[in-house]
Structure 1
Amino acid sequence: MSKDLLLEIGTEEVPAHVMPGILAQLKENAAKAFADSRIACGEIRTIGTPRRTALLVKDLAEKQEDVSSENRGPSVAIAFDADGNPTKAAQGFARGQGIDPKDLVSKDGYVYAMVHEKGKETSELLQTILPELICGLNFPNNMRWRDLDFKFIRPLRWIVALYDAEVVPFEVAEVKSGNTSRGHRFLSQGDFTIESAAAYEKACEENFVIVDQEKRKAMIREQIEEVAKKNGGKAEITEDLLEEVLYLVEYPTALCGKFEEKYLELPPETVITPMRDHQRYFPVKDADGKLLPLFITVRNGGSEHLETVQHGNERVLRARLADAQFFFDEDRKKSLEEHREKLKTVVFQQGLGTMYEKSERLVELAGFIADEIGADEKAHKHAQRAALLSKADLVTGMVTEFTELQGIMGREYAKLDGECEKVAIAIDEHYMPRFAGDNQPQTEAGRIVSLADKIDTIVGTFSRGKIPTGSQDPFALRRQALGLVNMLIEAKWNVSLSKIVAKSMDLYGLTDEKAREKMQADVADFMRLRLKNVLEAVRYDVVDAVLENVDDIYAVSLRAAAVAKFVEMADAAANIQAFVRASNLAQKAETAEIREDVFAADEEKALYDVYKSTSSAVASLVDGQDYVGAIDALKELSRPIDAFFDAVMVMDKDEAIKNNRLALLKAIDSLIIKVADFSKIVL
């Protein structure tokens, strides 16, 4: 037999961004707790609102599963005396197992206790499991209240614990469990009784609480779309904002507000940012994607007094937009280049100078990168101009007030200053990607400045010894490096990271050779890990096979793709085994010189001939980044390698012959390694 279980944890309003993690954590912990306690169950769900976190378990068995175990004790010789009587050792073991010594079983020279543990009633076990689930939740920040020795994300106000219709009695932080919940803070009559676990969601809804977040989310989306359509527009619904609003309300009602059309003369982002990021409003656009003087907000309540709520929200947004207009007008009293002078007062990082000095370095580094990728004169000029102005908007009033607009305001102000469109776009793009899943820079100038900015930050921060460790990454270097790796792959740029890092060190004035060598090694290791993340869809051993040299990120990604394709082929194993045989002995080579006059066997002459014909082909294919073709060319070596090993003893007594054979294998291995270290492949 089985019953449904409900655990509802009632609190003060929990921050919206924390709720998804709490629900996931509670579900995972509950599944483990029931498995560890040998209690069979069906579907486990966690649902919630700002004021309640609920666990719903279907078909939770009424009893713990029985368990039988065979526990080994002392040897028979120690357990029984000469007359077959149990010794103190046997008696102590039996007592510890909860059985009589006469019930011990002899087997394989040892005594065993056959223990059968009868399962306990689930209703009894839940009295321990449920409070442990509550107390076992972890949060980014905790609160204490009253004089309780108990911490939780928000004060605990009520607990509902029902096993079917039966209350599971326990107490946490002086709050006793029961069957009484609380309805919507303003719409309901207050407390209400839940008759059973199965009746929970309906009872909540009757008290103006849509407790299932997926149902609530669908309601919010549908209402927003309907209200926008009714007002002649289409709402711009981002998943991040929808997810946040979802955990701000228990009973959602969407409504439309308006603002003065004069604010549409501002750049769209300056209107959308205070609307969306600060007020949690959804922008509304027309069929052409142009912003309308409308917004949609979602209240935590019903449809009563919507006009009053609308006017209140309009008043708040009007103040925000008036601020934006003021900052915009003040900023426009100077050009972006004039604003740049103020960067001399803004510290980049302690010990790394000002943002003005950083922008000076970016100009030089952007020019160097432009040369490295073979950019034309215009792109070179655009990149350096964008680099010069890239940080100027940081000191504007608009970005000081709305930090999310860095780069965006630089772009808009550059356009208004009459800067080239490509320069303006590059100023914005150099921050990309700003977050996981964000777009990559699409213009050449934007990519150049983005690469320069990220390398400058990484090299500068590393020079201070601030290499990210564990979860500590205060300067978001991992995100920047990951963006850099993805950008190089998307742009299909063959650039030498070590050259760019070396140039960056020059600009920082790092001259100590040992420090420079360490910097190159540290940056390479850091990039290697980021590249490994980017290539996570590729077999781990394939990735390991191409990661030794990460100087050219794009080339590594191409090699990984080629090797991944190769290892799935029917002849891969035989070819790889041959490559690895050559590689294993190649490490013992003491000279690189191959002398044809020393060859003593036809097989080594044949292998050398194939190597010579293959070598130039592989080199050409690798230079052209046709790694699939290079692997096909390397396959020509496979049979001659096997024939060579079958016919000759590499480690010949004659030193000249031995060294010549090792030199040949070394040459072959050096050719193969241009594509991959096949010894890392798991066959």
Structure 2
Amino acid sequence: MAKDFILEIGTEEIPARFMPSAISQLKEIAAKWVNENRLACDNVAAYGTPRRLTVYITGLAEEQEDFVDMVKGPSKKAAFDSSGNPTKAAQGFAKSQGVDVSNLIVQETPNGEYVFAEKRQTGQKTAGTLPGFCLDLINGLSFPKPMRWGYQEMRFARPIRWLLALFGNTVIPFEIEGLESGRVTYGHRFLSQGPIEIEQAPDYLDKLRDAYVIADQAERREKVWNQVVKVAKCEGGEVLPDDELLDEVTHLLEYPTALCGTFNRDYLRLPKEVLITPMREHQRYFPVVDSEGLLINKFITLRNGTDSFLDTVKKGNEKVLRARLADAEFFYEEDLKTPLSANVTKLSKIIFQESLGTVFEKVERIGELSRYLASEMGLDEENLLKDIEQGAYLCKADLVTNMVYEFPELQGIMGREYAISNGERESVAQAIFEHYLPRFSGDILPNTTAGSIISMGDKIDTIVGCFAVGIQPTGSQDPYALRRQALGICHIAIEGKLNFSLDSLIEKAYLCYGDNIKAQLSAGETLLEVREFFKQRLKNIFADKGFTYDVIDAVLSVGYDRLPDTLLRAEALTNLRSQEIFGKLLTAYTRVSNLAKNACTDDIVPELFVEDVEKDLYSEFVKARDEMKIYLEEKQYRQFLQRFALLQQHIDNFFEGVMVMVDDEKIKNNRLALLKNIAGLTDAVADLTKIVA
């Protein structure tokens, strides 16, 4: 019969940020163990609260399935002599597999007849394998910062205080660092008194619920959100969706109860980010807004417990927030006393990176790179250029403000607020905020040209500088978020259709450092490595957009210096691929390119053409080349490729009418040169040899 199995690791409070990964690991390790041990089960689940990590396997078989393995040995000819008697090869193979030679089986394989040894392994009782599984699972979990406790050598997220392991109603015995498993668990730290004995595994979740613990994090998350929404509605407001905060709060408590608090309405005169950040980042409160999305003087928080004495809890939370908001108000008002521009020179005392100088030096490079990009893109509107110049100069000035020092996540946001307060144009203030975008995967992109240019200048400066001094992402290590910054540049350029040379920008960024750094790579080496780094980011972006791997390879293989242009080429190739003419395009290109590899010259001599079909192909090539050049200049890549496909019939006629590899070297080389030139027509758009038919 099948039984439920449960393993609970009881601990001191585990940080919320550890929990998603730990729960995922639990389920993955348990599912893998079930599969590898040939154990049938109904479901593998993993649960977690701050004080416990749990694996729950429903309907786990009491016994492993038998295992039959057919081990291949020597061929039949080598295993038996002409009389059918086993040879030394057969005897040695049988002995090595622990079977009698008479039990060897002859089977037909694609390579002929071979002998096999049938090895049958009887399934073990599940209960006998579970202790080892429990130990392996606990020791197999990894955490960002594991710790030791007492005199133990073991490392875990937090000290382990109890172990519960049941298979049905039977305790699975094992021991870790002197702690023995049993059938006892513990409920809510304050609302449940003493140990709770679990008679059988199916009782576990209900017993914990009775002890004020909702072990299932999905159930707990839903309960948190429903309560938050309900309380906000009762208070005449609403809470905007915030999955990150919701997940964190879910993993901070075991039995949620929502409540609403208030703060002084006078604080609403402050920028909303000044209020939201202390609430969200420091106190894990949900800000409340009205029907128009405007912040009101209320917040929703979660209590880890019941609704008893909620007024006392409410007053405590309001008191803490009142102090936080008072600090924020003080920082904000103090910062307003100093013009944002006066902070720029203070950046010379802040190190950007020990090998790359100060933040002030970075600001100077951002300004130079922003001006360069504006020039490259042909921007000449006077006010826009002023916005770029002033935005680049002020973009990091808020880093030395009191508010950003206390709340680093407000960088850029406070720069925008202070710029407006100082009388800067709103377009400059917006550029200061936008130059940090995108800050994370899925974040918004800059909405203004000035913000886009300054953002790309900032990011390329960091990327090129880090590569030049040997700081490059390796595996999961990317301390300066270079991957994210390269993705940011790609997204900004592609979505904004910003036309500039990526290679030239990389070279310019390297030159901006001058002799101020001790570079480990030369300008050329840096260009090659950074270009390849961007290529990998583009592959990811294009794959996310749904392009097939061969289209991506075909387009990137011929260059990606102009990022929006690269996307247009991928779209054109993909669109054409679904049309009947694409087959003609690929056929024409394949026939030509196969022979074109033998060409020793690019020069075509029309006078050397002998047959009408080759004269005709040359004439059509010239027409196609001239028309395709126009399509290329106008970035009409689909028409460009379609025009090439029209050469297919003329190419077929050519191959039917002439022999390319003739004895006459001049005629042969001339024909090969023609084919090479035809094959080269598509090189500006895609390498069609990469396309899988």
| TM value normalised by structure 1 | 0.95
Aligned-partner SS, 2:661? coil
* Structure 1 residues 130 and 426: CA distance shift in structure 2, 3 A: same
Superposed CA offset, 1:180-234 (max 9, x none): 1110111112311223222221111111001111111111111111111122211
Identify which of 455, 459, 481 aligns with 1:454.
Answer: 459
Does residue 1:529 correspond to 2:536, yes or no? yes
| 1:304 aligned partner | 308
| Amino acid in the other structure paired with 2:266 | K
Alpha-carbon distance in 1 for matches of 2:410, 2:148: 37
Which consecutive residues of structure 1, in runs of 5 or more, have no partner in the other structure? none
Aligned-partner SS, 2:684? coil
| 1:542 aligned partner | 551
Superposed CA offset, 1:602-650 (max 9, x none): 2222222222222222222222222222221121122222332333333
Percent identity of the aligned residues? 48
Aligned-partner SS, 1:649? coil
| Amino acid in the other structure paired with 2:165 | A
Aligned-pair distance for 1:29? Answer: 1.3
Identify which of 155, 159, 165 aligns with 1:161.
Answer: 165
8 Å contact kept, 2:256–2:305: yes
Aligned-pair distance for 1:164? Answer: 2.0
| 1:7 aligned partner | 7
Does residue 1:171 correspond to 2:175, yes or no? yes
Which consecutive residues of structure 2, in runs of 5 or more, have no partner in the other structure? none
Alpha-carbon distance in 2 for matches of 1:426, 1:22: 40
Aligned-partner SS, 2:522? helix
Alignment of 1:514-525 (within 5 A): 515-525=522-532
* Structure 1 residues 165 and 411: CA distance shift in structure 2, 3 A: same
| Amino acid in the other structure paired with 1:44 | V
Deviates more, 1:109-118 or 1:35-44: 109-118
| Amino acid in the other structure paired with 2:442 | G
Alpha-carbon distance in 2 for matches of 1:408, 1:666: 56
Superposed CA offset, 1:303-332 (max 9, x none): 112122112212221222122112112211
Superposed CA offset, 1:73-117 (max 9, x none): 567898789999989887775565444555445668866433322
| 2:685 aligned partner | 675
Does residue 1:260 correspond to 2:264, yes or no? yes
Alignment of 1:69-108 (within 5 A): 69-73=69-73, 94=94, 97-100=97-100, 102-105=102-105
| 1:116 aligned partner | 120
Identify which of 589, 604, 616 aligns with 1:579.
Answer: 589
* Structure 1 residues 490 and 77: CA distance shift in structure 2, 3 A: closer
8 Å contact kept, 2:500–2:562: yes
Aligned residues: 683
Identify which of 222, 243, 246 aligns with 1:242.
Answer: 246
Alpha-carbon distance in 2 for matches of 1:107, 1:631: 54
Alpha-carbon distance in 1 for matches of 2:313, 2:294: 26
Identify which of 418, 422, 444 aligns with 1:417.
Answer: 422
| 1:591 aligned partner | 601
Alpha-carbon distance in 2 for matches of 1:206, 1:450: 54
8 Å contact kept, 2:581–2:645: no
* Structure 1 residues 110 and 392: CA distance shift in structure 2, 3 A: closer
| Amino acid in the other structure paired with 1:661 | R
Alignment of 1:310-459 (within 5 A): 310-375=314-379, 376-459=381-464
Alpha-carbon distance in 2 for matches of 1:91, 1:497: 68
| Amino acid in the other structure paired with 1:56 | Y
| Amino acid in the other structure paired with 2:318 | E
Deviates more, 1:477-486 or 1:74-83: 74-83
* Structure 1 residues 638 and 395: CA distance shift in structure 2, 3 A: same
8 Å contact kept, 1:46–1:56: yes
Does residue 1:495 correspond to 2:500, yes or no? yes
Alpha-carbon distance in 2 for matches of 1:31, 1:352: 47
Aligned-pair distance for 1:661? Answer: 2.1
| TM value normalised by structure 2 | 0.93
8 Å contact kept, 2:66–2:123: yes
8 Å contact kept, 1:79–1:111: yes
Deviates more, 1:444-453 or 1:358-367: 358-367
Alpha-carbon distance in 2 for matches of 1:111, 1:364: 75
8 Å contact kept, 1:524–1:550: no
Aligned-partner SS, 2:129? helix
Aligned-pair distance for 1:565? Answer: 2.2
8 Å contact kept, 2:340–2:398: yes
Alpha-carbon distance in 1 for matches of 2:532, 2:75: 55
8 Å contact kept, 2:588–2:645: no
Superposed CA offset, 1:536-582 (max 9, x none): 12111110000121101111111112212222334434421321332
Alpha-carbon distance in 1 for matches of 2:504, 2:552: 24
Alignment of 1:120-159 (within 5 A): 120-159=124-163
* Structure 1 residues 609 and 80: CA distance shift in structure 2, 3 A: closer
Aligned-partner SS, 2:56? strand
Alpha-carbon distance in 2 for matches of 1:622, 1:284: 54
Aligned-partner SS, 2:354? coil
